[in-house]
Amino acid sequence: MWAPMGRGRWHGCAHTVWATAAAHRGILEPRPMATRGAAAKSRSQDRLYSSADRKEKIDMSRFSVENIRNFSIIAHVDHGKSTLADRLLELTGTIDKTKNNKQVLDKLQVERERGITVKAQTASLFYNYEGKQYLLNLIDTPGHVDFSYEVSRSLSACQGVLLVVDANEGIQAQTVANFFLAFEAQLSVIPVINKIDLKNADPERVEKQIEKVFDIPTDECIKISAKLGTNVERVLQAVIERIPPPRVHRKNPLKALVFDSTFDQYRGVIANVALFDGVVSKGDKIVSAHTKKTYEVNEVGVLNPNEQPTHKLYAGQVGYLIAGMKDVTEAQIGDTLYLQKQPVEPLPGFKSAKPMVFAGMYPIDQSEYNNLKSAVEKLTINDSSVTVHRDSSLALGAGWRLGFLGLLHMEVFNQRLEQEYNASVILTTPTVPYKAVLSSAKLIKEYREKEITIINPAQFPDKSKVTEYLEPVVLGTIITPDEYTGKIMMLCQARRAVQKNMIYIDQNRVMLKYLFPLNEIVVDFYDSLKSLSSGYASFDYEDAGYQTAELVKMDILLNGNLVEELVTIVHKDKAHSVGKAICERLKDSLPRQLFEIAIQAAIGSKIIARETVKAYRKNVLAKCYGGDITRKMKLLKRQAEGKKKLRKIGNIEVPKDAFIKVLRTQPDK
C-alpha cells in the first residue's frame, strides 16, 4: 500500500494539485497545509461551536467500531469541497444551521488571497441512521502536491473518500490525481457530482467521464447541489452504506497515527490522531515511535470541529491528544504513538519531510537580519517541514538557504513572512536537489557515500569524478479541451518532458501524461500552461523519483572574472537559453562603467552566451554655475561613498541590485 515509487523520496503517491503564483487567482484547491498551526488559536475563536457543552465529556465507548466511518473529501479546486463539508456539518448538527456557514474554516490573510486553505479541518459527526447512532469522522487532507506526504498519511486513516466533481467543469487534473491516490490506498470511492443547480451543468457528461476514466458505473454517482443542500442527505447515507468500518481492535495495545499537528502557545502541541488499535485516555504514558520520547497524556478529545475533551478515545476513532509536546517536530506527521508499557510495531510509511525546492532568503537590508531571523524562527515553530540553513552570499550578505516541500509551500511561507511579520525579503530563484553518483574513490571517502545530493552549485562535482548525474522527475497530468493539445504538447517538449500517455476522457477533453524534470516546472510552467489554454487546462503532478541527466555547471563571467553567486547547475540542452537569459538580465541591471563589460555564460572554457555593456561616453553634469558647488560636491561624495560598498568583480563594480535582479524569483505578473 505504501510502496515507494521508483527511487522516490516521498513515499506512496504524491498526488494533488499543482499551484504556482497563479494560486491567488483562485485556481488552487482549498487545501490545508499540515502543521501550519498559527491558525489554531484564531480558529477556535471564530468557529461555530456545537450545541454540546464543552465541559461535559462525551463517553466515546458507546461508538463501537461497526458504527464508525472514517472518510475524506477530495476534489479539484473550487469544485465545492468546503461547501459540502459545511452542509455535512450542518446536517449532523455539528454546526448551527441557522448561521450562514460559508466555509467554516477561519482563514489567514494568505489563504483568503490565494483561495487556499492552509489549515486542515477534521470533524467528528454524530449521525442517526436507521435507528443507529453513527460516528462519522471527516478527515480533511492537505491536497496540494507540496503536502503529498501529509495527504497520504491522512488518507491512511480513512476507509473511503467522497470524490467531488463539478457538474460543469468535469474531471480536472487534480480529480484524477486524487482518485488514484485513494484507489491505490484501496479506499472506497464515492463519486459526487456537485453544482447540478448551475445553468450549464451537464451531470450526464460528467458521469460518463467518471465511468471512462475511473471505471466507476454511472449509477454510483450522487448528483447534488451542496450550495442548495440538494441530495446531501444521500451522501451521508452512502458514507454509511458504501464505506466499510475501520478494521481495528479495541483490545490490542494502543497504536495511534499522528496525521496532523498544530502548536498552541498555551497548551503546546495538539496532535490529531487516528486510533488503529487500543484505547487512550488522560494519564496514559505514551511513546513516539520516531523520537522514542515518552509523554504523559493531558487531554484527549474529538474535534467537532473545535476541540471537545472526552474520557477516552477508542480504536477506529479520530480525535486530538495533548501530551506536553513542546515543538511540532515532536509530533511529526506519520509518526506512531503507543503505550510505554506495550510497545508495538510502528505503522508503515513514516518519513521526515524532505524538501524538494530550495531557495536563498536574504533580508533586503542587512540591518533587518535579526528581525527576519526571529520571524523565520516563529514561522518554523509551526512548520517543521521547512529546513533552514544559514547561508551567506558575497553579494546579498547573510541569509538562509531554505528547503520547502514545493513551490506553493515556499510562497505561502514567504507571504506569511511579509504579511504577518512585515519582513521584506529577497527570495532567490528556486532550485531542485540534484544528485551525483561518484566515481572518484577520494570523493566517495570524503562524502562517505557514493550518491550525493547537491543543493548548492558550489558543491557540484566535476564530470571526471562522476559516473552520472541525476535530477528529480515528476509524472504530470494535464487535462485540457482538445483545441489546446497542440500548444500544450509544444510547451511540454520545450520543458524536456516525455509523453507517457494521451487519452480522450470525453468527446473534446484530453488527458495527457508527461514525465517532467522537476526543475522545468518549478518556475513558470503552470502560468504558461494556464495562459496558452485561456485558463482551461489543469495540471497536477506526482513524484517519480530521479533520472539520469546531462547536467553541467554554468559560470557567469564579467570580463573573464567568475561571478561566484551566479554559478548555476543546468541541463546541457537548456544551458544556452538559461545562460542567455542571465546575461540579458545582467546587461539590463549593470550600470555603465568607464570601459566595456563583456558578460558571458560559460561551460568550462566554452562561451555559450554573451552580452555587452558599453562604456560610458558621457557622465558629467553639464552646467555648474551660480557658485552652488556644495550640492554637487555632496552628490559626488555620496556616490563615491556608495562606490566603496559595491562588490568588485575584477575591476567591475556590481551593485547589489544587479544581483537581486538576476537572482530573485521573477515576479509572477
Partner 1 sequence: MALPGTRARGWAAAAKMAQRRRHAEAARGSPSRASQGSRAALYVHWPYCEKRCSYCNFNKYIPRGVEEAAMRSCLVTEAQTLLRLSGVQRVESVFFGGGTPSLASPNTVAAVLEAVDQISHLPADSEVTLEANPTSASGSKLAAFGAAGVNRLSIGLQSLDDTELRLLGRTHSASDALQTLAEARRLFPGRVSVDLMLGLPAQQVQRGTLPAPDPELTAEMYQEGRAVLREAGFRQYEVSNFARNGALSTHNWTYWQCGQYLGIGPGAHGRFVLQGAGGHTREARIQTLEPDNWMKEVMLFGHGTRRRVPLGQLELLEEVLAMGLRTDVGITHQHWQQFEPQLNLWDVFGASREVKALLAQGLLLLDHRGLRCSWEGLAVLDSLLLTLLPRLQEAWQQRTPSPVQGG
Given the rule CB under 8 A, which residues bind partner 1?
A: 592-595, 614, 616-630, 632-633, 636-637, 639-640, 643-644, 651
The CA distances from residue 87 to 81, 93, 125, in Å, are 10, 10, 11
Minimum distance from residue 623 beta carbon to partner 1 (Å) = 6
Q: In this complex, which beta carbon is closest to partner 1, that of residue 368 or of residue 653? A: 653
195 marked among binding-site residues = yes
CB distance 129 to 236 below 8 Å? yes
Cell of 398: 547573510
576 marked among binding-site residues = no
Distance CA 229, CA 314 (A): 32
φ/ψ (deg, to 5) at 31: -110, 140
CB distance 143 to 178 below 8 Å? yes
Minimum distance from residue 641 beta carbon to partner 1 (Å) = 8
185 marked among binding-site residues = no
State the DSSP H helix or E strand holding residue 588, giving kind and residue range, or none if neither. helix 575-589
Minimum distance from residue 519 beta carbon to partner 1 (Å) = 37
Minimum distance from residue 653 beta carbon to partner 1 (Å) = 9
CB distance 230 to 201 below 8 Å? no
531 marked among binding-site residues = no
78 marked among binding-site residues = yes
Q: In this complex, which beta carbon is closest to partner 1, that of residue 98 or of residue 619? A: 619
Q: In this complex, which beta carbon is closest to partner 1, that of residue 56 or of residue 628? A: 628
Cα angle value 138/283/299 (rounded, 5°): 35
Q: In this complex, which beta carbon is closest to partner 1, that of residue 292 or of residue 644? A: 644
Beta-carbon contacts of residue 519 (< 8 Å; ≥ 6 apart): 431, 432, 471, 472, 571
Q: In this complex, which beta carbon is closest to partner 1, that of residue 218 or of residue 593? A: 593
Minimum distance from residue 367 beta carbon to partner 1 (Å) = 24
φ/ψ (deg, to 5) at 451: -110, 120
294 marked among binding-site residues = no
Widest Cα–Cα separation across the chain = 99
Q: The cell 477534521 sits on which residue? A: 122
3-state SS assignment for residue 155: helix
Q: In this complex, which beta carbon is closest to partner 1, that of residue 54 or of residue 648? A: 648
Query: What is the Cα 253 distance to its own chain's centre?
Result: 34
Cell of 611: 552580452
CB distance 486 to 551 below 8 Å? no
Distance CA 174, CA 411 (A): 20
Q: In this complex, which beta carbon is closest to partner 1, that of residue 227 or of residue 592? A: 592
User: For helices 575-589 and 656-663, what crossing angle results, to 10°?
Assistant: 150
Minimum distance from residue 646 beta carbon to partner 1 (Å) = 10
82 marked among binding-site residues = yes
Q: What is 363-401 written as a DSSP string?
A: ESSGGGHHHHHHHHHHHHHS-TT-EEEEEEETTTEEEEE
648 marked among binding-site residues = no
194 marked among binding-site residues = yes
80 marked among binding-site residues = yes
Q: In this complex, which beta carbon is closest to partner 1, that of residue 572 or of residue 632? A: 632
Minimum distance from residue 599 beta carbon to partner 1 (Å) = 18
User: For helices 148-155 and 173-184, what crossing angle results, to 10°?
Assistant: 50
Minimum distance from residue 545 beta carbon to partner 1 (Å) = 51
Minimum distance from residue 611 beta carbon to partner 1 (Å) = 16
Distance CA 497, CA 525 (A): 12
Minimum distance from residue 593 beta carbon to partner 1 (Å) = 7
Query: What is the Cα 63 distance to its own chain's centre?
Result: 35
8 marked among binding-site residues = no
Minimum distance from residue 628 beta carbon to partner 1 (Å) = 5
50 marked among binding-site residues = no
142 marked among binding-site residues = yes
3-state SS assignment for residue 245: coil
79 marked among binding-site residues = yes
Distance CA 101, CA 86 (A): 6
Count Cβ atoms below 10 Å from residue 92 Cβ, excluding itself.
Answer: 20
Q: In this complex, which beta carbon is closest to partner 1, that of residue 441 or of residue 620? A: 620
Q: In this complex, which beta carbon is closest to partner 1, that of residue 45 or of residue 630? A: 630
Cell of 663: 537572482
140 marked among binding-site residues = yes
Q: In this complex, which beta carbon is closest to partner 1, that of residue 441 or of residue 594? A: 594
Query: What is the Cα 649 distance to its own chain's centre?
Result: 38
Preceding peptide of 305 cis, ω within 30°: yes
> Binding site residues for GTP, as ranges?
75-82, 140-144, 194-197
> Binding site residues, as ranges?
75-82, 140-144, 194-197
